[in-house]
Amino acid sequence: MSTGIRQPNIKSVFYPPGGLLMWIIIYLELITFGAVLVAMVLYSKDEPSIFHDSRLQLNTTFGAINTLFLLVSGFFMALTVTALKANNLSKSKVYLKLTMYGGLLFLGLKSIEYFDKIEAGLTMGYNTFFSFYWMLTLFHVIHVLVGLVILASVYRTMIKNPEKLIMEDVEASATFWHMCDLIWLLLFPVIYLVF
């Protein structure tokens, strides 16, 4: 199915995909996560054995699978944008659904991991490592949830009012979703592999 998706009028380096405001938000988010990761590394210098022993209690396989879920989901998000730019609404709907499924799979596996940690008593107050673990991963989960709400809104527009679909909005949602991927790609190695 083909539809006339409204394309952005401004095409320059000063107007990146998703809009300038979205990129400002992304930079602020990356600075925030980066600062907390740096703080985590600095704290680990004071308690190296606690950080090492705590990291060994994480399920690296779950972390790796979740990385795969988000990377594949991000790939389908890129295909969604590409299909829309080619004016192929039916393909973009399929790709966007697959994007959202990837996010839901991430949340499902993360929930299992959280349940296992809570059952083992490895909550936020357990030690410094788990304080950082919970703070960083829960903040990321909130971003994934917000991203899924944004994607669901775009999908709803695709289904109910495709004539109102604006490419800038789709690009902004894709940019936010890719930010979630990028943040996880920073969190996974530092939290699950380094210490």
Once rounded to an integer, what is the mean pLDDT over residues 157-183? 91
Asked whether residue 180 carries a pLDDT value surpassing 50, the answer given is yes
10-36, pLDDT tens digit by residue?
455 455 666 778 888 888 999 999 999
Once rounded to an integer, what is the mean pLDDT over residues 138-164? 94
Q: What is the pTM of this model?
A: 0.86
- Domains in the chain, ordered, with CATH? 20-194 (1.20.120.80)
Asked whether residue 2 carries a pLDDT value surpassing 50, the answer given is no
Of residues 101 and 167, which shows the higher confidence score?
A: 101
Q: Could you tell me if 76 and 93 are in contact, meaning their C-beta atoms sit under 8 angstroms apart?
A: no
For the chain, percent of residues with pLDDT exceeding 70: 90
Per-residue pLDDT at 1: 44
Once rounded to an integer, what is the mean pLDDT over residues 174-185? 94
Q: How far is residue 95's CA from residue 85's CA, in Å, rounded to a whole number? A: 13
pLDDT confidence of 7, banded at 50, 70, 90? Answer: low
Per-residue pLDDT at 168: 85
Once rounded to an integer, what is the mean pLDDT over residues 110-129? 95
Once rounded to an integer, what is the mean pLDDT over residues 58-68? 96
Per-residue pLDDT at 49: 94
Q: Give the mean pLDDT of the chain.
A: 90
For the chain, percent of residues with pLDDT exceeding 90: 78
Asked whether residue 136 carries a pLDDT value surpassing 60, the answer given is yes
